[in-house]
Amino acid sequence: MEKPAILGGEPVFEKLAPIIKPLLAKYATDGFLSKIKGILESGMVTDHIYVRELEKNISSYLRVKNVVGISSCTLGLILSLQLMGLRKKKVILPSFTFVATANAAYWNDCKIVLADCDPNTFNISPEDVKKKMTKDTAAIIGVHIFGNPCDVKALQEIAEDHDVKLLFDSAHAFGASYDGKKVGGFGDVEVFSCSPTKLFITTEGGIVATADDKLAAEMRIARNYGNLPDYQCKIPGLNARMTEINAALGIEMLKNIDEMVENRNKYAALYKKFLAKVPGIKFQEPTKGTRHAYKDFGIIVNPKEFGVNRDALYDALAKENVMTKKYFYPPVHKLEAYSESAKADLPNTEHVSNNVLCLPIYSYMDEKLIKNICTAIERIHKFSKEISRKLSR
């Protein structure tokens, strides 16, 4: 086996294999571009025919009564917390998540309580949530990490037993399923992201899904500053409107979402197959009874078995022109912005965060690309002793 590039060998890839590859060029058709031209000519660029059509189509796809298009998942979470009366209240959320989850609570002046994750699924641990519950707890925010649905049933039971609200940051999970049902209709509200790193893309944007008619009606007002048609401000809102151009792209991409999820599950299976015999590589486990969306494909690196740690593998793969991400490192309780939580006792979160590495995964990939990435990982393992010596100098 040839030496890896970090030891002077030839890189597996001549050009960079990116961590993501947003599927956008596929939709640059004459039909779609004529829609964009029509939007620009009409001058009606927000909350018009395409936003409403997209909301209707997603409502049908998710089988959720109410869907509201917004400008970002983060703003959807911020407004959901506000509209549900959770400002300044105690909210439990995972530390192993993208910082936007915590930021949404922060901008509502919530008292943030960070829970540990399950070391296998990477999702918020229902057992730790139970431990963190107090009489002052007002809500739980679950996050479907990398597109792997949370243990919805367990979280729902906790929420019902303690009479608290249950929200889901579903940024990663569009197209995923739990117990045979599409993610989107669980808890009191679910909020999706449609940014370029996701499966379902509107270039930028978000989706709020809820069975609560009152919440949905207020969300439609709040996304437009809180203004009514007569400019009476009913509730303090934000500018969180989705544009017509975003929605027009979403309408087209929604047609392919199930194919994309199917493909990503197939690619995840190939990664697992090709890496099965490499010591020290562990995979994220899908929650029981779910269909993972695989927005990201994360592995856990055991340095003793693999030969080098996660950071060394990251550096070595970069030399092979393979882009990877340390999602999520640091976790929320180790971020400077949330330094007051630095001493939180979250052992599973720290283990996963210190050892996780996400590999490239797209909605459309060549099997050879996956095989070559795995070959690069395999040869880094084979030459791990030499790499360790080089890095320790």
Domain count, the chain: 2
Residue 16 lies in a domain: no
Residues 212 and 153 in one domain: yes
Distance CA 79, CA 104 (A): 8
CA dihedral 160, 158, 148, 183 (to 10 degrees): 0
221-268 tens-digit pLDDT: 999 999 998 999 989 999 999 999 999 999 999 999 999 999 999 999
Residue 242 lies in a domain: yes
Type of residue at 232: Q
18-72 tens-digit pLDDT: 999 988 888 999 999 999 999 999 999 998 999 999 999 999 999 999 999 999 9
| pTM beyond cutoff 0.95 | yes
Residues 79 and 179 in one domain: yes
Q: Which of helix, strand or coil describes residue 287? A: coil
CATH number at residue 107: 3.40.640.10
CATH number at residue 349: 3.90.1150.10
pLDDT per residue of the chain (393 residues) written in tens, 0 to 9 = 699 999 999 999 999 999 999 888 889 999 999 999 999 999 999 989 999 999 999 999 999 999 999 999 999 999 999 999 999 999 999 999 999 999 999 999 999 999 999 999 999 999 999 999 999 999 999 999 999 999 999 999 999 999 999 999 999 999 999 999 999 999 999 999 999 999 999 999 999 999 999 999 999 999 999 999 899 998 999 999 999 999 999 999 999 999 999 999 999 999 999 999 999 999 999 999 999 999 999 999 999 999 999 999 999 999 999 999 999 999 999 999 999 999 999 999 999 999 999 999 999 999 999 999 999 999 999 999 999 999 887
Say how far residue 143 (Cα) sits from the centre of its chain. Answer: 8
Residue 133 token pair: 């519950």
Residues 50 and 159 in one domain: yes
Structural domain that includes position 109: 25-254
Contact 62, 257 (CB under 8 A): no
Residues 151 and 229 in one domain: yes
Residue 12 lies in a domain: no
Domain stop point among 208, 238, 254: 254
Residues 137 and 179 in one domain: yes
Type of residue at 42: S
Residue 358 token pair: 């996400």
Type of residue at 319: K
Residues 39 and 142 in one domain: yes
Residues 151 and 166 in one domain: yes
Distance CA 143, CA 169 (A): 5
Q: What is the CA radius of gyration of the chain?
A: 22
CA distances from 92 to 151, 159, 274 (A): 15, 11, 38
Residues 231 and 314 in one domain: no
Residue 333 lies in a domain: yes
